[in-house]
Chains A and B, each alone.
Chain A
């Protein structure tokens, strides 16, 4: 069986062992990936950096998988793990309320101050109705991630899990290392 795996770092993308030809780096690279490989989902522009990373990462992986896209699916879960959670949006929101004389809390920033939103965004995009979750771990621990995945796969309704490690600390420090596990 083919192993589908993707890695995105600020300096490059590796999809199923093949390095993709990308011109930009850092946060700008996510926009390049969106324009080059997605392009039809304007909601991308409204997303926070963690969700942008999650969207382009899952898009690349699912395109490589090659199964029918956007059909309602009840047999696939989305399980993501990271250590920085929603810290980028947390800080962005804090800045909107930092000055008592100009305190204008941003609703559109606030909605991303929960890291599990990234799992929900992926599920909504792909019409997945299985479990969605985002776990916070101190560091990337594939043994622990595999335990979490195996636990989800004990549900007889779930036949596959899209997930893995996704972490966004700042525009120069982020990583998505995702896989598709199948029963």
Chain B
């Protein structure tokens, strides 16, 4: 799980162009939205694309993102249980 968490942090930095951050700057248990990284609705869409592109997970219900993107740890848990690639 720790390896997946690290991988997700690197992918989040890459797809969201968070050039000023390193994986160590992202708190594994902190909310991804609303505070901390100051992500916005476009970032949420980009994370949905990330899940589909890298892990074969289609979020049919976009509102489920609110739950999945609660933190990197929650995201990693969701990926590990639902990934198809």
Q: Which residues of B contact A105 (CB under 8 A)?
A: 49
On whether the beta carbons of B20 and A45 are closer than 8 Å, the reply is yes
Given contacts A104-B52, A107-B49, contact A45 B18 (CB under 8 A): yes
Interface size class of B (residues with CB under 8 A): 10 to 19
The yes or no answer to A95 lying at the interface (CB within 8 A) is no
Binding site for A on B (CB under 8 A): 15-20, 38, 42-43, 45-46, 49, 52-53
On whether the beta carbons of A42 and B53 are closer than 8 Å, the reply is no
On whether the beta carbons of B20 and A107 are closer than 8 Å, the reply is no
Interface size class of A (residues with CB under 8 A): 10 to 19
**Set A46, A104, A111: member contacting B16, Cβ < 8 A:** A46
The yes or no answer to A106 lying at the interface (CB within 8 A) is yes
The yes or no answer to A171 lying at the interface (CB within 8 A) is no
The yes or no answer to A108 lying at the interface (CB within 8 A) is yes
**Set A42, A102, A106: member contacting B46, Cβ < 8 A:** A106
10 nearest A-B pairs in the assembled complex, by CB-CB distance:
A107-B45, A45-B19, A104-B53, A46-B17, A108-B46, A45-B17, A104-B49, A108-B42, A107-B42, A107-B46
Docked complex Cα distance between A46 and B53 (Å) = 20
Docked complex Cα distance between A106 and B17 (Å) = 12
Q: Contacts A108-B45, A108-B46 known; list 7 others, CB within 8 Å.
A: A31-B19, A42-B20, A104-B49, A104-B52, A106-B15, A108-B15, A108-B16
Docked complex Cα distance between A42 and B18 (Å) = 8
Interface class of chain B by DSSP? helix
Most A CB contacts (10 A, CB to CB) among B17, B49, B52, B53 go to: B17
Contact with B along A108-151 (1 / 0, CB 8 A): 10010000000000000000000000000000000000000000
Binding site for B on A (CB under 8 A): 31, 42, 45-46, 102, 104-108, 111
Q: Which residues of A contact B53 (CB under 8 A)?
A: 102, 104
What are 14 pairs between A and B in contact, CB < 8 Å?
A: A31-B19, A42-B20, A45-B18, A46-B16, A46-B17, A102-B53, A104-B49, A106-B46, A106-B49, A107-B42, A107-B49, A108-B15, A108-B42, A111-B42
Q: Nearest-CB distance from B58 to chain A (Å)?
A: 11
Q: Nearest-CB distance from B62 to chain A (Å)?
A: 11
Q: Nearest-CB distance from B41 to chain A (Å)?
A: 9
Q: Which residues of A contact B18 (CB under 8 A)?
A: 42, 45
Q: Which residues of B contact A45 (CB under 8 A)?
A: 17-20
Docked complex Cα distance between A111 and B19 (Å) = 19
Q: Which residues of B contact A31 (CB under 8 A)?
A: 19
